[in-house]
Amino acid sequence: MTKEESKNGSDDMLIDGPKQGNVIPDGFNPNYLKVYYGRLFPHADIFKWMSYGNDGRHPACDKSYFGRREFSFTLDNDIYLRFQSFNSESELENSIKEKCPSKIDIGPVYSVDPAKRHAYAQGGDNVFAPVERELIFDIDITDYDDVRYCCSGADVCLECWPLMTVAIKVIDTALRDDFGFDHILWVYSGRRGVHCWVCDGKARRLTNEQRGAIADYFRVYKGNENSNKKVSFPGPLHPFLVRSYTEVLREFFEEKLLLSQNLFSTEERYEKILSMIPDESVTSELRGKWQENRRSSNSKEDINFFRWEQLKNTLQSGKQKVQGLRRCVEEIVFAFTYPRLDMEVSKHRNHLLKAPFCVHPKTGRVCIPIDPKDCEELDPTTVPTLSELLRELNTGDSRMDVDNEWEKTSLGKSIRFFRSSFLQPLLKSCKEEMESGYKAKIQQTKNSLSW
Amino acid sequence: MEIVRSQRSRTNTPNDSVSTLPLYRYAPQLEVRLEDFEVFAMDRLRVLKGISDALARGKRPEEMENLVRDLWKANMRHPEASEDVNKDIISHFVLRLVYCRTEDLRKWFLSMETALYRYRFLLGSSEAKRALMEEFDLPCKAISRTEFENAKEKLEQVARSFDQPLPTADAIFYKVPFEEVPELVAGRRVYIHKGHAYVAMHQVVSLVVTQFRSNLSKALILTNRKWTSTIREQEKDRLTPIVEALSMSYLGPDYSQTKEFGEISIKDLDQLARSSFPLCMRHLFDKLREDHHLKHGGRMQLGLFLKGVGLRMEDALAFWKAEFSHKVGAERFDKEYAYSIRHNYGKEGKRTDYTPYSCQKIISSTPGVGDHHGCPYRHFSEENLRAALGRMGVGSRAMEDVVDKVRNRHYQLACTLTFEAVHSSSCDAGINHPNQYFSDSHKILQPKNNNAA
C-alpha cells in the first residue's frame, strides 16, 4: 500500500482508505483525467481499431499506416494541438497520459506522416492529402430546437432524447441495408448528440463527392428561419423514406412525440403545425375547431391524439383536391422526427471528430458506444461520469484479478461491447481483405502484362 | 483520313460494330472527297444546331428524343444507305477539327455531341444498348428477371417519386456500385440495396455519356494541338478555309428579306426601340441618340439589324445622317459614313447584300473601349444589366431568373426570358437572332396596335 501510495503521488486522495469516506466530488479536472487516462481509457483498443489490421506481421501490412493518422488534442487551457501522429501504441498512450487532453479528436489517414507535412506541397506531385477516412455522421439535438419544447440548447432529457434514438435507427438501417456497410460504430457524444463511424474499407476510401452524395441522400429537412415548410415532398416517397416512415417515424410521432412534447396542447404549438399546411381552408377549419374546443367532451382521449386525428381526417378527406396536400401528413411527421445531420461533417475527409471514450468536459460523461439494435436503452442521464468511474475504481475489489481495471467499473460493459460487436468483426474483416488483396497481387505479378 | 479531290470513296472501316452508334475512337481509314468533307460536316452541324436551339428552348427529354431522330433522319442519310455510318464518322471528325480551336468552341461542340450521343443511345434497340455498354467497359451488370421481380415494388416507388412511367416487364435495369453514380444517389433517384444502385436505362445512359464526354474532351485537346502545330499550316489552301468558315455558319433564316412585315419608317423607330428591340439593339440605339455617334462595330450591328427590320436604304441614310450631323456635321457624314451604309445594303463594292448578325455572331464579338456593340448579357456588369432590364420593364422576379441565366453564361436564354417578361408571353423558339426578337415582338404587339386604333 505504501509503495503504491508513493508511486501515485498525486492520486493519494483517491487510493487512500478505499472503503471509507469515498468522497470524490463530481466534476471534471486534470487530476481526474490523469487517473482516467492512466487506468481506464482503452488505449490498446483505440490503437487496434485505428490500425485496421496493419499492426500485424502479415507481409501485406502497411507499417506506415498508423503513423499517417492525424490525432488532435485539446489541452486544458484551450490550447489545440493538431496534426499529432504516433508510430506505435505506446507512443500514443504515453502522449495521452502525459498531455492529458480534455478532448481527443481523430482525423484522416494522410498520404504521409502529418508531422512531415510541411515538406510536401499542397498541389503537384508530392501532395499532403487525406487518403482514408471513416464515413462519419454527427447528430446534435440542438438542431431540433424548433421542434422540442421540453428543453433547448445544451439540455437534454428523457422526453426529447428519443429523437436521437429514432435518428440512429433510421440512419443505421439505411447504412446497412441500402449502402451495404457492416462495420458501424455509434457513440454517445457526451452531452446532447450522437456520432457515427462507418469503418468499412469501402467507406474509408470514399471521395468527398461520394460522401456528399450519401449526405444528400439522407437529407430531407431543408430549412432556415425564413421558411415555414421545411420538409416538402412534391411526389411520392423514395423507398428509403417509405421504410423510415413506416418502420420508425410514424409510430414514434403518433405514439411518443405527440404526447411527450404536447404538440397540439396550446395555440402557439398547434399554430406551428398549421403553418406547415399550405391550404387556408384546411387550416381555418381546424383552427376553428380547436379554438372553441378548450376541453372537448372526449376528455378521456389525450388532446394531442385527438387533434392529430382531426388533422389527418381533414387532410385525407378527399374534399381537398389541392396539390401539395397529398403528403402533408408525412411532411409534418418528417419535419418533427426525421434525422437532421450536420452535412459538413460528413462531406469532407479532413473533418475531425471526437474519439470514443473521451470524457465530455461540460458533463463529465464518457462517450460510450451505443448498440443500434438496443438504442432505446441508452439513457443520457445515467451514462457513467468520470467521477462515478473513479469512485467505482476505489470501491472495486482490489483482490479481483483482472487484466484491466475498467472491468471493475461501469465502463467495462461499454468496452466489452466495443470489442465484441465492433472491433473484433472489423479486424477479422480487415485481415480477410488484406489476405485476399495480397493473394490477388501475387497472382497479378505472376501473369506477365504486355503493356 | 485522307482527303482526295475526286475519286469515289472506298469503305474500309475498322470501327464497324453491331450497333450503329460508333465510338469515334479513331479517325477512320477512309478516303474522303473534298466536297463531302464540307457537305457532311454542314449536315451534321445542322443537327447539332438543331439540338442547341431545342436545349435553349428547354425541351423535355421525350421531345428531344423525337427531335434528334427527325434531325438525324433529315440530315444524315446518305444516298447509299451503307455509307450512313461513314458519313456519321467522317462528319464527326471533321467537326472535331472545326471546333477544337478555342475553348468556347470546344465547350459548345462537347455539349452538343454529348447530347446527340445521349439521345441516339436512347433511341437504339436494347441489343444495341447492351452491346455499346460492353464496349464502354462500365462496372455495371444488367439485372435478371428474378432480381427485377424482387425489387419491382421499390423500383416502382422510385419511378413514381419522379413522375416517371413505371418500369415495364421488359425494362432493363443495371446494378452499379453506388459510388459510380453519386448524382443519382444524392438526388434519391435510384433504389439502392446492399451497396448497389438499381439504375434504369435512361439513367445508365448518363454513365455512358459521362465516359463519352470525357473521352471526347481529351480528344479535342489533342486535336487542337495537332491542328495548331501541323494541320492548319499544311492545309491552308485546302481544308483550313473550309474549317474556319464552318464554325461561323448560322443556319437559320437570315432576315435579309423584309417583306413579311412591311416597311418601317424613321418616325416609328423610337417607339419600336422601346417596345420591340432586343436589349443589344436598344442599347446601341439609345447610345446613338445620346452620343450622336457609334463606332464601327456598333454601326454594323445596329445598321444591319435595322435593315433586317425593314428600314429602306434612303431612310437609313437620313436617319444616320440626322444623328451623326450633331457630332461630325452633314458634310463629313456624306464623305465618311454614307458609303458604308450603302455598302451594307449591297449598293457598293462587291455588292454583297450583307445579312444582319445572329446572336451567335454578336455574342462572340469583343467590344472594346468606347464600343457599345456585342451582347449586353455577356458584357454588362450585373449592376448595369439590372438597371437596363429595369428600364425595359422587367419585373424583379423575372430579373432574378435572367441574372441567373447570365451567371451560367446562357446569354440567349437570358434574352429569351427578357422577351417573355416584357411581352408577358412565352417564346418557345428561344432567341437566336435579334431580328427574330423583333419580328416575334411585332407579331405580338401588332394586333394590339390595330385594335387600339
ipTM: 0.88
- Window 271-310 of B: residues touching A by CB (8 A cutoff) are none
Secondary structure (H, E, C), B324-391 = HHHHHCHHHHHHHCHHHHHHHCCCCCCCCCCCCCCHHHHHHCCCCCCCCCCCHHHHCCHHHHHHHHHH
Mutation for B interface: A238, A244, A338, A346, most B CBs within 10 A: A238
When pLDDT is averaged across residues A111-122 and rounded to a whole number, the result is 84
Cα angle vertex A111, ends A109, A116, to 5°?
95
* pLDDT interval class at A2 (50, 70, 90): very low
**Across the interface, do B178 and A179 touch by the CB < 8 Å criterion?**
yes
Q: Indicate the residue of A177, A178, A206 with minimum beta-carbon distance to B179.
A: A206
Q: Which residues of B115-140 are buried (b: 16+ CB within 10 A; e: fewer)?
A: bbbbbbbbebeeebbbbbbebbebeb
**Residue B32 dihedral angles phi and psi, to the nearest 5°:** -125, 135
pLDDT value for B127: 79
pLDDT value for B111: 87
Which residues of chain A have a CB within 8 Å of the CB of B160? 235-236
Give dist(CA A304, CA A264) in Å, integer.
5
Q: What is the least distance, in Å, from the CA of B163 to any CA of chain A?
A: 7
Asked if residues A178 and A379 have their Cβ atoms less than 8 Å apart, the reply is no
Asked if residues A89 and A20 have their Cβ atoms less than 8 Å apart, the reply is no
* Annotated catalytic residue A331: no
* Poorest-pLDDT segment among A296-305, A317-326, B140-149: A317-326
Secondary structure (H, E, C), B385-445 = HHHHHHHHCCCHHHHHHHHHHHHCCCHHHHHHHHHHHHHCCCCCCCCCCHHHHHHHHHHHH
Higher model confidence: residue B287 or residue B137? B287
DSSP helix/strand/coil, A385: strand
Q: Indicate the residue of B160, B161, B179 with minimum beta-carbon distance to A210.
A: B179
Q: What is the least distance, in Å, from the CA of A234 to any CA of chain B?
A: 8
Among A395, A412, A444, A408, which residue's Cα sits nearest to residue A18? A395
Give dist(CA B356, CA A9) in Å, integer.
95
Give dist(CA B334, CA A38) in Å, integer.
99
Which residues of chain A have a CB within 8 Å of the CB of B158? 238-239
Q: What is the least distance, in Å, from the CA of B39 to any CA of chain A?
A: 41
Beta-carbon count within 10 A of A69 CB: 22
Give dist(CA B228, CA B235) in Å, integer.
11
Beta-carbon count within 10 A of A65 CB: 17
AA letter at A65: Y
DSSP string computed for A408-419: GSTHHHHHHHII
Helix residue spans in B169-268 (DSSP H): 182-186, 201-226, 232-234, 239-248
Q: Indicate the residue of B179, B188, B193 with minimum beta-carbon distance to A238.
A: B188
AA letter at B329: G
**Across the interface, do A240 and B188 touch by the CB < 8 Å criterion?**
yes
When pLDDT is averaged across residues A283-289 and rounded to a whole number, the result is 90
Q: What number of C-beta contacts closer than 8 Å exist between A and B?
A: 57
Asked if residues A382 and A410 have their Cβ atoms less than 8 Å apart, the reply is no
The position carrying cell 488534442 is A73
Give the nearest chain B residue to A217 (CA atoms).
B186
Q: What is the least distance, in Å, from the CA of A114 to any CA of chain B?
A: 28
**Across the interface, do A202 and B188 touch by the CB < 8 Å criterion?**
no
Q: Which of A210-214, B73-77, B171-175, B404-408 has the highest mean pLDDT?
A: A210-214
Which residues, 6 or more positions from A251, have their beta carbon under 8 angstroms from its beta carbon? none
CA end-to-end span of chain A: 72
**Across the interface, do A237 and B178 touch by the CB < 8 Å criterion?**
no
B413-431 confidence digits (pLDDT tens): 899 999 999 998 887 767 8
Which residues of chain B have a CB within 8 Å of the CB of A239? 154, 157-158, 191
Which residues, 6 or more positions from A84, have their beta carbon under 8 angstroms from its beta carbon? A70, A71, A72, A73, A95, A114
**pLDDT of B210 above 50:** yes
**Across the interface, do A213 and B183 touch by the CB < 8 Å criterion?**
yes
**Residue B155 dihedral angles phi and psi, to the nearest 5°:** -65, -35
**pLDDT of B256 above 60:** no
A382-391 confidence digits (pLDDT tens): 999 999 999 9
**Across the interface, do B193 and A178 touch by the CB < 8 Å criterion?**
yes
When pLDDT is averaged across residues B393-403 and rounded to a whole number, the result is 91
**pLDDT of B201 above 50:** yes
Higher model confidence: residue B337 or residue A293? B337
pLDDT value for B255: 58
Burial class (CB in 10 A: 0-12, 13-18, 19+), B25: exposed
**β-strand A69-74 against A103-110: which pairing, if any?**
antiparallel
Which residues of chain A have a CB within 8 Å of the CB of B154? 239
Q: Which of A120-134, A165-179, B306-320 has the highest mean pLDDT?
A: A165-179
DSSP helix/strand/coil, A392: helix
Among A79, A87, A35, A139, which residue's Cα sits nearest to residue A353? A139
From A11, A132, A138, A200, the catalytic residue: A138
Give the nearest chain B residue to A327 (CA atoms).
B161
When pLDDT is averaged across residues B112-132 and rounded to a whole number, the result is 87
Radius of gyration of chain B measured on its C-alpha atoms: 26
Give the nearest chain B residue to A182 (CA atoms).
B194
* pLDDT interval class at A98 (50, 70, 90): very high
Q: Indicate the residue of A213, A241, A242 with minimum beta-carbon distance to B185.
A: A213
Residues of A engaging B, defined by a Cβ cutoff of 8 Å: 177-181, 202, 206, 209-210, 212-214, 216-217, 235-242
DSSP helix/strand/coil, B250: coil
A18-76 confidence digits (pLDDT tens): 444 567 888 888 899 999 999 999 999 999 999 999 998 888 999 999 999 999 999 98
Burial class (CB in 10 A: 0-12, 13-18, 19+), B255: buried
**pLDDT of A370 above 50:** yes
pTM, entire model: 0.67
Compute the mean pLDDT over every residue in chain A, rounded to the nearest whole number.
87
Q: What is the least distance, in Å, from the CA of B133 to any CA of chain A?
A: 23
Q: What is the least distance, in Å, from the CA of B177 to any CA of chain A?
A: 9
* DSSP type of residue A73: E
Q: What is the least distance, in Å, from the CA of A32 to any CA of chain B?
A: 44
**Across the interface, do A239 and B162 touch by the CB < 8 Å criterion?**
no
**pLDDT of B261 above 70:** no
* pLDDT interval class at A293 (50, 70, 90): low
Q: B150 CB near a chain A CB, below 8 Å? A: no
* Poorest-pLDDT segment among B237-246, B381-390, B399-408: B237-246
Q: What is the least distance, in Å, from the CA of B194 to any CA of chain A?
A: 4
Asked if residues B192 and A178 have their Cβ atoms less than 8 Å apart, the reply is yes
Q: B165 CB near a chain A CB, below 8 Å? A: no
pLDDT value for B376: 94
Q: B152 CB near a chain A CB, below 8 Å? A: no
pLDDT value for A320: 53
Give dist(CA A50, CA A91) in Å, integer.
14
Cα angle vertex B375, ends B374, B376, to 5°?
115
From A55, A140, A331, A405, the catalytic residue: A140
The cell for B261 is 412585315
The percent of residues in chain A predicted with pLDDT above 70, rounded, is 87
Which residues of chain B have a CB within 8 Å of the CB of A202? 179, 195
**Across the interface, do A177 and B194 touch by the CB < 8 Å criterion?**
yes
* Residue B225, beta-bridge partner list: none
Q: Which of A11-25, A272-286, B3-17, B184-198 has the highest mean pLDDT?
A: B184-198
Give the nearest chain B residue to A209 (CA atoms).
B182
**Across the interface, do A235 and B162 touch by the CB < 8 Å criterion?**
yes
Which residues of chain A have a CB within 8 Å of the CB of B186? 212-213, 216-217
Strand order in the sheet with A193-198: A135-140, A193-198, A184-188, A369-370
Asked if residues A269 and A149 have their Cβ atoms less than 8 Å apart, the reply is yes
* pLDDT interval class at B81 (50, 70, 90): confident
**Across the interface, do A235 and B161 touch by the CB < 8 Å criterion?**
yes
* Annotated catalytic residue A140: yes
Q: B312 CB near a chain A CB, below 8 Å? A: no
Which residues of chain B have a CB within 8 Å of the CB of A214? 185
Higher model confidence: residue B132 or residue A187? A187
Give dist(CA A185, CA A204) in Å, integer.
13
Q: Indicate the residue of B154, B185, B194 with minimum beta-carbon distance to A214.
A: B185
Among B409, B366, B412, B414, which residue's Cα sits nearest to residue B386? B414
Q: Indicate the residue of A212, A217, A238 with minimum beta-carbon distance to B161.
A: A238
Which residues of chain B have a CB within 8 Å of the CB of A212? 182, 186
CA distances from A114 to A61, A66, A83, A86, B199 (A): 20, 11, 5, 10, 40
**pLDDT of A321 above 80:** no
Beta-carbon count within 10 A of B379 CB: 19
When pLDDT is averaged across residues A307-323 and rounded to a whole number, the result is 77
Which residues of chain B have a CB within 8 Å of the CB of A221? none
When pLDDT is averaged across residues B79-83 and rounded to a whole number, the result is 80
Mutation for B interface: A173, A178, A327, most B CBs within 10 A: A178
A149-162 confidence digits (pLDDT tens): 998 888 899 999 99
Give dist(CA B68, CA B118) in Å, integer.
10
Q: What is the least distance, in Å, from the CA of A203 to any CA of chain B?
A: 10
